[in-house]
Amino acid sequence: MKLFDAIAGLFGKGSIMSDKSSPAPSSQTGQPAPAQPAADAWILPEKHREQLAKLFESLVNPVNIHLFTRPGPSDPVGEFAVSFCRDLSRLSDKIILHREELGAQEARTQGVDFSPTLLLEPQRYSIRYLGAPLAEEGRSFIETILMISLRDSGLSKESRELLSVLDSGRLIKVFVSPTCPYCPSQVLNAFRAAVERPKLIEAWCVDISQARELAELHGVSSVPHTVINDQLTMMGLEPEQRFVAELATLRDAASLSATLRRRPGETSQADVVILGAGPAGLTAGIYAGRAGLKAVILEKNVLGGQVSLTPVVENYPGFSKIAGVALMDVTAAQARRYCEIVNEEPVAYEAGPAGLTVKTATLEIRARALLIATGATWKKLDVPGESEFFGHGVNYCATCDGYLYKGRAVAVVGGGNTALTDALYLKNLGVSVTVIHRRDRFRAEQYLQDSVARENIPLVMQAQVEAIVGDKAVKAVRVKESKTGKSREIAVDGVFVAIGETANTEPALALGCELTAGGDIKVDEGMRTTIPRVYAAGDVTGGGGTRQIVTAVGQGAVAAMSIFEDLSREKK
């Protein structure tokens, strides 16, 4: 089992490291902070302590954690960090906690002026957290402890080679939010680089809900947001190879893509390559592996796809209510028992009489069949200001970026399940939300409409967004009312667009697969496309008209069994 799977259940939404249940505000950030236990009490539940203690049995070298907090009782977030780190140190004698005060000599020596700040093994590495590692970042914190203890970055051979020639310093700041499922992987990209080239590379994980001033200084409006040497900015999660290449060269991926694609890579064989690790791809991996097929899943982003960004799933059989990321964590853990999951981006596809070939920056995989389960991405409004202010007030992921707007005003554009779920989620965070919809009624499920009504969320119905306006960041959204034909501006600090999805059909187009009139991949009842040995499943096919998790799972299973049957017939 991968390390990420082992710790996935410990730090997701609703876990002990979530800050939702905390009433006391921090004087430094204004955000709620977890209630403090007695000095000798455990903050980690017994179940989590047992799991972590077992995990920590693999520790080899000591890991010194230097925790800097403001003296006195006015720093509840800092005290929570103390309690959490103290618990970890009680679980293993290899974890050594050093409490430090802001303003003291050690703080001045290390250049620490924010509470809480955590430095991990600072005599050897330059790794720090600005803010307590809450919720999702609890994962990166635990994995970093293990990485440091093993003195092994875990980077691929190609990434190590790229960093080996680095001859000048790098300072990486990765801005995150506690509920962003993409963020831990980007933080680990940075921390692995810092472990690989100690002292030459310095890496920070900055929680935007705690270190707000620094986030505003860098213009952070979506996460993960990575800044290197105050020179290169990365938006979103990047595959390891791309991240390291950009880190080494201080050039963006567009200028590096040709170089990366020409890199010779290892060649491997598989029965089926699955593109995408969402519900359809992971399910197909499980079924293919159980059928005796060698399957490889390629995923460039976080495992679970868009489901991992869903705060709560309430319509998946067997779970009355479960966080989307938790559901995908257990699915991914099960998939890994039957197939290999590679976190790399496919860059080329070839189909021929002898089979199919998929290339990444470092691999060439030859397979007998290909399953496209690449899902769908958010549709855009295509109005003035949308692209200009992306990352500066225009957002598509409330789970990722909602923390930036606590105490501020936003508009959610859309009328379906996603739009109303986003509105309710943002309202719960303390965001002032207005929903804008072009029709006179919502298409969302009735229970969501009822919830929006109970929360008294303002609605602007029968209004079309004409433009998103601002200067350096979003200031307002301009709408045209259908009834009157008049335009007006609604003052907001951000806009969350939730108007539907577009299928990610690039691999299908590259291979010549036929699409439907709606732009989805055309498949038969067995999930076969119009190209032999190429299959598709999940949202990329339209999801059976519903684009639900259960339909994606069902299609993934059908596709895997069709592949098994077709390949079996070929052998005969």
Annotated catalytic residue within 19, 75, 329, 401: 401
With CA atoms as reference, report the closest residue to 129 among 88, 64, 81: 81
Q: Give the three-class secondary structure for 274.
A: strand
Task: Say if CB 479 and CB 436 are below 8 A apart.
Answer: yes
What are the residues whose beta carbons fall under 8 Å from the beta carbon of 453, sequence distance 6 or more?
Answer: none
Catalytic annotation present for 339: no
With CA atoms as reference, report the closest residue to 284 among 533, 563, 521: 563
- H helices present in 499-544, as ranges: 506-511
Dihedral through CA 27, CA 30, CA 32, CA 35, nearest 10?
A: 0
What b-and-e string marks burial along 244-278, b requiring 16 or more CB atoms within 10 Å of the CB?
A: bbbbbeeeebeebeeebeeeebeeeebbbbbbbbb
The encoded tokens of residue 22 equal 């905390």
Annotated catalytic residue within 397, 422, 493, 520: 397
Sign of the torsion formed by the C-alpha atoms of 306, 307, 308 and 313:
positive
Dihedral through CA 15, CA 17, CA 23, CA 25, nearest 10?
A: -160
Catalytic annotation present for 539: no
Task: Say if CB 339 and CB 285 are below 8 A apart.
Answer: yes
- For residue 220, the Cα-to-chain-centroid distance in whole angstroms is 16
With CA atoms as reference, report the closest residue to 178 among 407, 11, 3: 11
Tokens 């008049």 label which residue? Answer: 486
Annotated catalytic residue within 85, 183, 205, 400: 400
What b-and-e string marks burial along 466-478, b requiring 16 or more CB atoms within 10 Å of the CB?
A: bbbbbeeebbbbb
> Catalytic residues, which ones?
397, 400-401
